[in-house]
Chain A
Amino acid sequence: MATIKIPPVLRASVGGEKQVDASGEDVGAVLRDLASNHPATQEQLFSPDGQLNRYVNVYLNDEDVRVLDGLDTAVRDGDTLVILPAMAGG
């Protein structure tokens, strides 16, 4: 089981939670588990071809998954995934 930190703009899609648990062998599986439990996140995270949307950054612990193995990056019990969209408020 991994913990996913939900950014403010996605919290409405997960019932207002700041973090939720999800399971899966790799980053893609964990995020798909999130999307199956909270369908409103599906389109926000994934493009129609099943890839991560380019405007969504995902970090495994503190490392960008793009410099690891992307959605295939292995996830271990107790890992934290951070979903991070850009913010522009000033």
Chain B
Amino acid sequence: MSTSGAELLRLVKSQIQEVDPAEVNELIGEGVTIVDVRGSEEFATGHLPGAKSIPRGHLEARIDSAAPDRTAELILYCQSGNRSAYAARTLQEDLGYERVRSMTGGITLWKDRGYEVEIPRALSAEQRERYSRHLLIPEIGAEGQQKLLDAKVLLLGAGGLGSPTALYLAAAGVGTLGIVDDDDVDLSNLQRQVIHSTQRVGIPKVDSAEESIHALNPDVNVVKYKTRVDASNIVEIIEGYDVVVDGVDNFPTRYLLNDASVRLRIPVVSASILGFDGQLSVFKPYDGPCYRCLFREPPPAELAPSCGANGVLGVLPGTMGLLQATEVVKLILGIGEPAIGRLLLYDALAATLTEVKVHRDPDCPICSRDPDEIADEELGVFPDYEAFCAAAG
């Protein structure tokens, strides 16, 4: 004789542990993983604070990333406590979770008791479709996508590195992209600066970049700065941004950006390119070293060929710029291991990516001090630069 649905539910509930909403309420914010197994549309109408959304149909596939430790405490809930009971049995019997419990009465009882419900800001139907591949990743989801949409990222330079970075950050839905560049599009840029186009040769790079970004994703608010950054305007420009992407082509601006970003505590994702080689690191003020900790002084002219016109493999800024974009997204989402305290070295000809360690310099002229002590006139102080640029031609 076959089992009825009601009998099966009773059987399942007898095989698992349940937990009362009162106890769950005590555990909120204590580091216990809470998973909402309802559909994503139900989740969007309101969920327990801090709960992760894994619809029951995706449970087996996605639980590992939400709850990698099978011995850690795990609480599941649904609307009324039935779907989460089945889900708890699956995790316990099939996947070996040792301390999984299902919340009695689901979110309905939770609400009846008057406990807090978090209502996520809803993505529009178009956004749900546009960012659907993000929403499928548990580490991002609707919550992560909202963080991206709320984020403000400043790109210093809309050139080789800035082009791919801007395009992919726009595609990913970073809500505000500031772009600083004083130049106009030149035909010789187009071998690598893929955000511009042949028809737009001669127009300002910031306008050209804005056109490409809006063609790709009209959600993005583009803030244009057609100017060169210098000590007089850098603080005003970078203040208020969450992350700055350093893709500038000269040392004075790199040191200036470093000093200002340390003072404002804004993380910088930095890359540089030359020939077939690229370097990348993330400088997060006071969490890791700054650019001056890594390179105390700029090299002299003969070892700093960036001042003059030097060649670069056209695809190399694509590679390095997208590594930068990846680091930016990780910083915004708070996931993974950003390249803080590490310098990644990419050798395109050898096809190798190696890294060296970067330490905070206890004697760093900038980041060994309190940010409020860094004065305006100290920003970007740089020995004899004009002289050595002139020497480099």
Give chain A's interface residues, CB within 8 Å of chain B.
7-10, 18, 44, 54-57, 59, 62-64, 66-67, 82, 84-90
Contacts and interface: CB of A to CB of B under 8 A. Distances in A.
Interface of B: 157, 159-162, 246-251, 254, 271-277, 279, 294-300, 302-306, 310, 312, 317, 343, 345, 350, 354-359
Nearest to B355: A62
Contacts of B272: 86-90
Nearest to B273: A89
12 contacts: A8-B275, A9-B274, A9-B299, A9-B303, A62-B354, A63-B357, A64-B357, A86-B294, A88-B250, A88-B251, A88-B304, A90-B317
Contacts of A10: 303
At the interface, is chain A mostly helix, strand, loop or mixed?
Answer: mixed
Contacts of B275: 8
Given A9-B303, A44-B303, A86 B356 contact: no
Contacts of A84: 343, 345, 356
Contacts of B277: 7-8, 87
Contact of B160 (A66, A67, A85, A90): A90
Contacts of B358: 64
A64 B356 contact: yes
Nearest to A63: B357
A8 B312 CA distance: 12
A51 to B, nearest CB: 13
A82 B356 contact: yes
Contacts of B251: 86, 88
B356 A88 contact: no
Given A9-B303, A57-B356, A64-B358, 5 more contacts: A8-B275, A9-B305, A82-B356, A87-B273, A90-B161
B294 A90 contact: no
Contacts of A9: 274, 299, 302-305
Given A8-B275, A64-B358, A86 B157 contact: no
Contacts of A67: 357, 359
A7 B358 CA distance: 18
B170 to A, nearest CB: 19
7 closest Cβ contacts across the A-B interface? Answer: A88-B306, A86-B295, A90-B249, A55-B299, A87-B272, A90-B247, A89-B274
Contacts of B350: 18
B26 to A, nearest CB: 46
B274 A8 contact: yes
A88 B297 contact: no
Given A64-B357, A64-B359, A85 B276 contact: no
B357 A55 contact: no
Contacts of B304: 9, 85-86, 88
Nearest to B162: A90
A7 B211 CA distance: 38
Contacts of B302: 9, 44
Nearest to B270: A90
B245 to A, nearest CB: 10
A69 to B, nearest CB: 15
Contacts of A63: 356-357
Contacts of B254: 88
Nearest to B253: A88
Nearest to A59: B356
A84 B279 CA distance: 10
Q: Which one of A10, A63, A82, A88 has the greatest number of beta carbons of chain B within 10 Å?
A: A88
Given A8-B276, A55-B299, A89 B356 contact: no
Contact of A62 (B159, B294, B303, B357): B357
